[in-house]
Structure 1
């Protein structure tokens, strides 16, 4: 996998600072990816949905600590703390062209699984309407990125 226009390379201490700042813990797969690629555009920019073969184009991955197209910390604070759109335990790491979010779970029962948050169907009282499990792991999500 290759990413373009990534932000400044992260060190493990940078990830630790982000975790402490936000009061969260990243999964090991997520950390490994971000130590290699800090945000940017995946060259294989489409997520291939495993159930029906549909594709969703990823606009970009958020960067951590350093400015990029969007910062992870800003997205997390806006979506979880300020606007309270995301439920606790879901970390937004990428966005598609329509403003929908790809999130990794840090909840024990869904740990390291990736979910798609369809903001066009957002309903705070009915999470099933806008949240879909799309990968059993962060690595599985990355492995399902394909060319157009």
Structure 2
């Protein structure tokens, strides 16, 4: 495995949590498996600026941090809806993205 994660890790998340990870997010994780952005501030499609401290890795060699984070947030009903995927962290907490094909 290179710096990215394996297809199987992403497939496991999709199957376990009944989600479909968007192609762009899948490509990022296959190439980088999370990581720290070179430019920590991004402009969103809504015109707002978003700061990203780091992208939550799918696999860190011992654990599955994204799976653990998603499981934790879903364990307590109502923390996040099923159509959101936590993919990064910033100073105020997790950043989530809408999953394709979800309500």
TM-score range, shorter chain: 0.7 to 0.9
CA contact (8 A) 1:72 1:92 kept: yes
**Larger-gyration structure (1/2):** 1
What is the rounded CA distance, in whole Å, between the counterparts of 1:33 and 1:104 in structure 2? Answer: 14
Q: Does residue 58 of structure 1 match 2:43? A: no
Q: Which has the higher contact order (CA 8 A, sep 6+)?
A: 2
Q: Per-residue CA shift, 1:70-101, capped at 9, x if unaligned?
A: 811111111122363111211110121122x3
Displaced runs of 4 or more, over 6 A? none
SS in 2 for 1:13: helix
TM-score, length of structure 2 as denominator length: 0.76
Indicate the structure with greater strand content: 1
Q: For the residues of structure 2 that align with 1:86 and 1:38, how far apart are their CA atoms? A: 23
C-alpha contact 1:18 1:65 (8 A) present in aligned 2: no
Structure 2 residue runs without a partner (length 5+):
none
2:73 to 61, 76, 79: 79
Q: Give me the whole-angstrom Cα distance separating, in 2, the residues matched to 1:75 and 1:106.
A: 16
Q: Residues 45 and 58 of structure 1 are in contact (CA less than 8 Å); yes or no, is this contact kept in structure 2?
A: yes
Distance in 2, matches of 1:56 and 1:28, equals 21
> Are the equivalent residues in 2 in contact too, given 1:15–1:31 (CA < 8 A)?
yes
> Is this contact kept in 1: 2:53–2:89, CA < 8 A?
yes
* Aligned with residue 13 of structure 1, among 8, 12, 16: 8
